[in-house]
Chains A and B, each alone.
Chain A
């Protein structure tokens, strides 16, 4: 148990559906992250939020839309996905400051997404 939970754990959706992934952290962290892990590819960073502000978008297509309403919650809204978007989507959180530093990230168990 890492203190980061993700729901749902498994999701099957059609290409015309709209769904959302939810991440919640109980660690008092200020930074949250979305990563994507496709089969046979390294884990890829998608988005970074620091103190509720998006600080990084790693050239992610607009069919993925993140939302961070507060420091404890992070959502990934999905719409009109493609089959190649099927992957494990991982959320992470970390301590952060506005002055720099290096802090370990705590990952959730991931949501296994299948797009049909």
Chain B
């Protein structure tokens, strides 16, 4: 079975400060990891993904994430937060092509990011 944990329900940062939203995962085989963002009354939007290659992945809106295999983590980061980054963030893991859960995406519970001016 695959699972994702986002240990923080809420993260608060001041504008201009760096931010980190944490995610750990459990999956058999190679992990396919994703971050999505959801604004109020909207669907989820893709931010970035790790499939293979460099452990540091860069995505939309200046976000990046670091894949750490030994710690089974995929934390989302941004060097300088903006008020407009305030939203709900989801980490997700997806089964690879040879996995019994091939194609199936499992999401964490989400972390609400609030950036204060």
Q: Please indicate whether A and B come from the same complex rather than being unrelated chains.
A: no
A residues whose Cβ falls under 8 Å from a Cβ of B: none
Interface residues of B (CB under 8 A from A): none
